[in-house]
Amino acid sequence: MLSESFISWPDAKFFLRHVVMMNYGGKVYSVLRGIEVAAGDIDPLNRALFVSYSVFMALGMYWYTRFWLDDLDTYYDDRSNHYLTKTIGNIPITLGAAMYYAIFCGLFAWSYIEISHPVSMSLAIWNAWCCINLLFATPFHKNDTITTN
């Protein structure tokens, strides 16, 4: 089955799985590096940015453990039992996550322009990458969804 889809355009589920898998490490790095930068930074706005991002990414690890481990395979179909997908739907959730990363991309880009800290640049690029992948993970068309086995 994989050989039949190997050279095909990835669907929304592929991009969501990619974001989840790559961002486990990204979240851990962001938390540890954010604490390190915040502890040594004298600018209060930059410190607040890194501390808040560290907190949000640590909370995001709970989201990943609870939500994605159980419902990643059913996220795009009607089998999901999660309250958010039943009440809000997967498109607003995915777009909301993309917006979260877009906002932090902008904040870290601003931090890099103002403070010139290299970690700000790396986190701006990381957040942009997560946002782009989440936009690809948004199933705007019915045929973007996959049937699971």
Instruction: Average the pLDDT over 74-78 and give the result.
Output: 78
Which tokens hold the place of 124? 């701006």
For residues 37 and 50, what is the distance between their CA atoms, to the nearest angstrom? Answer: 7
For residue 87, the Cα-to-chain-centroid distance in whole angstroms is 21
Q: Mean pLDDT, the chain, as a whole number?
A: 85
pLDDT, tens digit (0-9, with 9 covering 90-100), for 56-69: 999 999 888 877 77
Residue 41 has pLDDT above 80, yes or no: no
For residues 11 and 9, what is the distance between their CA atoms, to the nearest angstrom? Answer: 6
* For the chain, domain boundaries: 10-76+84-137
| 31 CB-contact burial (10 Å; exposed 0-12 / middle 13-18 / buried 19+) | buried
Give the pLDDT band of residue 7 (cuts 50, 70, 90).
Answer: low
For residues 73 and 100, what is the distance between their CA atoms, to the nearest angstrom? Answer: 23
Residue 2 has pLDDT above 90, yes or no: no
For residue 72, the Cα-to-chain-centroid distance in whole angstroms is 14
For residues 102 and 125, what is the distance between their CA atoms, to the nearest angstrom? Answer: 10
Give the pLDDT confidence score for residue 40 in this predicted structure.
Answer: 87
Residue 103 has pLDDT above 50, yes or no: yes
